[in-house]
Structure 1
Amino acid sequence: MKKLASGILLVLSTIAHSQSLTQTIKGQITDEQSGSPIIGATVQILGSSPPMGGITDVDGFFKIEKVPIGRQTLGISYLGYESITIPDILVGAGKEVVMNAKLIESLQQLDEVVVTSENQEKGQPRNELATISAISLGMDEISRFPATFDDPARAALTYAGVQTGGDDLLNEIVIRGNSPKGILWRLEGVEIPNPNHFTAIGSSAGGISMLSNNMLANSDFFTGAFPAQYGNATSGIFDLQLRQGNFDNHEHAIQAGLLGVAAASEGPLSKSKRASYLFNYRYSTLALLTELGLDILGEEEDITFQDLSYKVRIPTKKLGSFSFWGLGGRNTYQFIPNESSDNWENDVESQNTGAAGVTNVFYVNEDSFFETIISGSYNQLMSNYDSLDVLTLESSDFIETQMRFSTYFNHKFSARHTMRVGTVLSRLGYNLSNTYWNRQERQFVTPLDEDDHAGFYQVFGNWQYRTSDQFTLNSGLHFSHFAINGKTYVEPRLGFKWDRGSHIISGGIGMHSRMETIALYTARQYLEDGSYVQNNKDLGFTQAFHSALGFEKMLKPKLRFKAEVYYQHLFNVPIWPNDTTSDYRLLTFSTLNTLDGYTTDELANDGTGKNYGVELTLEKFLTNGFYMLSTASLYRSKYTGSDGVERSTQFDGGYIYNFLTGKEFKVGKSGNNTLSLNGKLIFAGGKRQAPINIVASINEGHTIYRYDENYDLKLDGYFRMDFGISYRKNRKRTTSVISLDIQNLTQRENEFFRYYNVGQRRIESDSQVSFFPNLSYRIEF
């Protein structure tokens, strides 16, 4: 009988254990201004019964064990600091949760600190110098939002003022009517090349991101009025951060989907020193299937890509912490017609991209630290296009290298005053070649053949002044110098945030600038005697004045309303010189309408532009498994070319509306598993192009556009519905997720551009991709 009773108790114990899966939450709490660890801070799992929590140690680290899986809210408090809460933390059985946070020192002497859920950290940027037009992209959100495909750029489409660049095959985004070329990509605090597969020279986008959300920590996304720390951007900034690997336990993940097969691993290098590693590798599923003998695309096409990213962090006692990080990607596209093909063109494109660096954070004392980064990058784009249909042959090989030394010093004088000053020294190397067959002159032309380097130097200073717990003022200055032509830019910045308790008012103004691609500055135009000139070597940067004013209010717990109005004036924009042509295609040209590429023709910094609008956001934080995000934007985007006429840019759609919602259901006998349904709607005004001259098109036998009315024609409005469904299953030591994401569920054919069909003798439209699914399976252990 005793053996039977013992057996029953054992079974019941096992069942009870299986019904209460748990995991560990850990992290580090630091001072927001100085970066120093906060010792003795209280960290609690809000709403837990019995109460669960921990206290930070001498290095600011905490650990809370046996936290029930599911969504949890973290409350953090410390005497003399403002308390915060971090809601909706997803706790799974397969991986420990690392949650780092920063506290702001209070200017009032507090007798007692009470943790509440009012001061939400959700969506607040990591950079404490940002006051407006900035959000934090959470990696949980990127994986939750439908049809993002683990891509930060596609995830940004959900937020106010952001829309697609006009081609759903690419992750191009338009921010407040600006060209996507004005976006800056940063990784681990330093500028990097465009981190996307299948890109083009001068582009900021591509088909697939090289960075997986397996690697990313919460990262900042800016849509305007950037702090003085940032330069070389006029449209937006992705300031991406790689997360730290688990320094206590080894954890792994394997993921397979229609886009790629990936493996990730992380763990301790030295538990006593909290040293860790983290890496992720991915290989194209299409390429893998082709190697196995399954030709999905057909014999004429071949698509291959792979990428690797890593971070190794090694803290030391005397020299601070060192992080060794990197990102690399390769991809190839080939179209080679077979003997029976009607398409007599051969197109081969390939890309090799890499960035690596070492970051050192050294604390002088509890109020001061240096952050120093030495990095290098390499970006090669090769193409070869051969067509018998149009009798052309073109080949190019663009190689750009960047060596950077970046450092800044941060000092907290008091709870009111913080200073940050720094510099970025860049050596921009380039080896650029481009050759094509000129049919008219029946000879090869080489518009690019350059192998050299140039310097780009930046210096910045920020001063943060807090008059009270409610009002913060950030002022700064950014200085840039481009050695290739000696151009210098001085850019003052100013931002404020006023927390009235019931609502927040914020604002920012500043000057900003952005260089063109190196190929544009070095391109050659050949003269009749065989000599050449570099028309654009002295071309300046595009400059922009940004201003924005914002209002934010919590309407009720976990329901936030935000509004922003903005005005941007762009000047020194490269356009066609106004006295050299009567061709309206050139008279209406502006780089504000370009997506990539370069030109050998002479340009002048005489163009202007402006963007203005209002953005509204209503966000329901995740509550009882339900969340909602609704954004609406009304805007205009204008430019002036060399003819002096103000026109709409091609991105002047006029309006954007996004609606995102989702619901999580606890399923299974013990409620340990989760079924998630997510949906997104996008309504936006169509892009613009020149109207078609029907009579001239009929007479000439091909499409003739009316460039004297450039961008007057507005394409049909853009509509897209995305859908995602996933099932998360937690076991004792593993978490598995199967998910299906569908882009453009309704298969709507959004207009790409219009043209004249000679055979049909009518105007027709080419459409964007109508439907794209991605099925994937992931296991964490």
Structure 2
Amino acid sequence: LFRSDRGTVTDKHGRFEIVAVLAGTWVVDVSMVGYSGRREPDVVVRANRTTTLDVELTQQTMTTRDVVVTSTAFDAARSARSGTIQLSAEEVRRAPNGFGDPLRAMMNIPSVAQSEDAINDLIVRGGSPVENGFYIDGVFIPNISHFPQQGGTGGDISIVNMDFVQSMTLSAGGYDASYGDRMSAFVDIALRDGDAERHHVQADLNMTGFGGVIEGPITSNVSYLLGVRRSWVDLLVALLDVGRAPNFGDVQGKMTWRINETSTISLLSMFGRSEYSRSVLNARENGENTFGREVYDVFSNGLTWRSFWTDNLSTQTGLGWSRTTSENTWSNVVDSVMTQDRTSSDDVVNVRSITTWSPNTASNIDIGTEVRWQSTHNVDAADAAFPELSYTGTWISLFTSWRQSIGRLTATFGLRGTYYSAQDRIVLDPRLQMNYEISERMWLSVSGGIVHQQLPAPLLAQAPENIRLLIPQVVQVLAGWYVLLDASTKLSVELYDKRYAHLPSSSLVPYRLLTDEVVGDVAGFDFYGPLTTSITARAFGAEAVVQRRSDNGWYWTAGASWMRSEYIDLKGIRRNRSFDNQLILTAVIGWTPDDEWFVSGRWAFSGGRAVTPVDVVASASSGETVLNVAQWNADR
């Protein structure tokens, strides 16, 4: 325990225990000869509770000279991934803009822009939210939000219970070959296990809802964690009789079985329902044109198996199934004619297995496979122009990565091959990252690679010939300079360039990039029929971030990002992408004066999304808003 005389040593399996620790927030230093030390800040110990801490150390090459092992709160240069930032459970919980949603904590990073205040879409380095992916305990989950967008990755608020989160990692490019089918970013969420020794009950109330968490042991080697939540704003609005507000509720559970000292199986289940309705009377009072109801259900299950076969050989396998359904029924206020009666369902089954072998302190090899089956169905009984749409497809990936250190240089070579069954097409994604240690606390990194991503299933379903389209891809290049200013503070400066090809559009709207449609308060894609993948795009920029993790009561993150994001439409006209924010400035600062209180604040500036101006003349003559499509995304 940092700044105390308490400590311990691990057993041969790496497990350790420190007993009789006073309740409070601690900093834990973990070190071992032959490995880079690690400092874990903000380790919260609650009264009469067991706190579980998982720490991964990176092997380092030994020399014959004297060795001093030092600990830092960040990954060592050898294992650090460019474009990556990690938030601990306390950093997520203390985010001043979190409102009970772990995803909103990511919006304090300058790599990420926000589409709307009420939506948790992550816009990463000029890419569409459609280009993001999520893994929870190694299990792929396509959408983790209430009011989910069909074909998208965002919604109003996350289903993931913030009290379950152990850590979150954002990879904004430069990721290794074990990641695929997402062109912008991945968010890895690690969940904590339930207390294996005592039962606990906790009640929660925050800005978005109320609920509770219970946890404890089932047997000597099985523990559980269960949480429920419900929104309360809709109850208050109904009580005051001032209209209608959206409502949501969710249930989340995790069970962990420690088979033995080297193997663990965990089960995860999440269910969320979100609903909004508006009566014809409410619609008339508020000047709305429609009344009706929309309901969304998100159901995700996952199984994760981790096993250490030997000291240098391990396997992690994640199996997941997710199902999302929606019902949207809306009618005109004037004549009560139904304008929308749309139902949709999306199913995704995904399995990913990674085996890691470390033959020596300088080498690391990953070999794995990932298989994904997805199905979508969409029908609107009230709209004859919107036909019934269905699509089912599977892709299979094999991948490998080899990390080798030679002196101060560490290189990671990766290759991922994917076969898309519906398209009967094979693509190869090579990856490369090179880190060079200038000193123990300073290093340079260069990474690059190709990432392919299948079109969203709702777009593939719009015409039979769409399955023959080329697979969208991005070529990414990233360069970074990183400095550990001290054991708890890191400076990162990164330059990136992303060049896209084979993005989708339609001859009906040749000025639009269709993957940028599903963002904000948009339920899904419009219908276009046959598509083309002839659009090219580019996003490039520079970022600087300073992240300070708490070891003396103060913590803060400050960053700046300049970027451009643009595409060339079907007519050859260069246009701004919707997410061309150009400039983002963020600052978060917090203070924990004691173990019971913390104060945090956030300041952010964003250049704003590109928008299309209104055609004043056409709008005046038609009596409704008409956009000037010749100036698509030309204004701010």
TM class, shorter-length = over 0.9
Q: 2:530 matched to 1:602?
A: yes
**Post-superposition shift, 1:635?**
0.8
Q: 2:542 matched to 1:619?
A: no
Pick the aligned partner of 1:139 from 72, 89, 100: 89
Pairs within 5 Å for 1:12-91: 45-48=1-4, 51-91=5-45
User: What is the DSSP-based 3-state SS (H/G/I as helix, E as strand, rest coil) of the residue aligned with 2:105?
Assistant: helix
- Give 1:760's aligned residue: none
Asked whether the 8 Å contact 1:286–1:296 carries over to 2, the reply is no
Q: 2:119 matched to 1:160?
A: no
- C-alpha separation between the residues in 2 aligned to 1:637 and 1:55? 51
**Post-superposition shift, 1:507?**
2.1
Amino acid at match of 2:544: L
Superposed CA RMSD: 2.5
- Give 2:587's aligned residue: 659
Greater alpha carbon shift after TM alignment, 589-598 vs 656-665 = 589-598
- Give 2:98's aligned residue: 148
Q: C-alpha deviations, 1:183-235, integer Å up to 9, x for none? A: 11222212212110012212211111100121122122111122110011112
Distance 1:46 1:343, change over 3 A: closer
Distance 1:374 1:616, change over 3 A: closer
Asked whether the 8 Å contact 1:87–1:120 carries over to 2, the reply is no
Pick the aligned partner of 1:326 from 246, 264, 269: 269
Asked whether the 8 Å contact 2:139–2:351 carries over to 1, the reply is no
Q: 2:298 matched to 1:360?
A: no
Asked whether the 8 Å contact 1:142–1:150 carries over to 2, the reply is no
Pairs within 5 Å for 1:233-632: 233-271=182-220, 273=221, 275-286=222-233, 289=235, 295-296=238-239, 298=241, 300-317=243-260, 320-338=263-281, 341=285, 343=288, 345-389=290-334, 393-437=339-383, 444-450=384-390, 453-468=392-407, 470-500=408-438, 501-524=440-463, 534-556=464-486, 558-577=488-507, 586-595=509-518, 597-598=524-525, 599-632=527-560
Amino acid at match of 2:311: E
Asked whether the 8 Å contact 1:246–1:277 carries over to 2, the reply is yes
- C-alpha separation between the residues in 2 aligned to 1:379 and 1:156? 24
- C-alpha separation between the residues in 2 aligned to 1:156 and 1:206? 15
Distance 1:711 1:552, change over 3 A: same
- C-alpha separation between the residues in 2 aligned to 1:675 and 1:318? 37
- Give 1:751's aligned residue: none
- C-alpha separation between the residues in 2 aligned to 1:483 and 1:225? 27
- TM value normalised by structure 2: 0.92
- C-alpha separation between the residues in 1 aligned to 2:428 and 2:315? 24
- C-alpha separation between the residues in 1 aligned to 2:93 and 2:64? 39
Distance 1:343 1:563, change over 3 A: closer
Asked whether the 8 Å contact 2:113–2:581 carries over to 1, the reply is no
Q: C-alpha deviations, 1:342-361, integer Å up to 9, x for none? A: 54522311111111122222
Specify every segment of 5 or more residues in structure 2 that has no aligned partner in the other structure, as ranges: none
Larger CA Rg, structure 1 vs 2 = 1
- Give 1:733's aligned residue: none
Asked whether the 8 Å contact 1:76–1:115 carries over to 2, the reply is no
- C-alpha separation between the residues in 1 aligned to 2:199 and 2:310? 33
Distance 1:319 1:303, change over 3 A: same
**Post-superposition shift, 1:426?**
2.3
Q: 2:72 matched to 1:120?
A: yes
- C-alpha separation between the residues in 2 aligned to 1:316 and 1:523? 47
Amino acid at match of 1:240: I
Asked whether the 8 Å contact 2:305–2:317 carries over to 1, the reply is yes
- C-alpha separation between the residues in 2 aligned to 1:256 and 1:417? 48
Asked whether the 8 Å contact 1:257–1:285 carries over to 2, the reply is no
Pick the aligned partner of 1:703 from 622, 625, 629: 625
Identity %: 21
Amino acid at match of 1:284: S
**Post-superposition shift, 1:95?**
3.6
- The count of residues paired between Structure 1 and Structure 2 equals 627
- C-alpha separation between the residues in 1 aligned to 2:210 and 2:543? 38
Amino acid at match of 1:231: G
Distance 1:130 1:229, change over 3 A: farther
Amino acid at match of 2:169: D
**Post-superposition shift, 1:148?**
0.8
**Post-superposition shift, 1:113?**
5.6
Q: 2:628 matched to 1:689?
A: no
Distance 1:179 1:64, change over 3 A: same
Distance 1:684 1:181, change over 3 A: same
Asked whether the 8 Å contact 1:473–1:496 carries over to 2, the reply is yes
Distance 1:376 1:502, change over 3 A: closer
- Give 2:570's aligned residue: 642
Distance 1:265 1:113, change over 3 A: farther
- Give 1:754's aligned residue: none
Amino acid at match of 2:503: V
- C-alpha separation between the residues in 2 aligned to 1:557 and 1:365? 32
Amino acid at match of 1:478: R
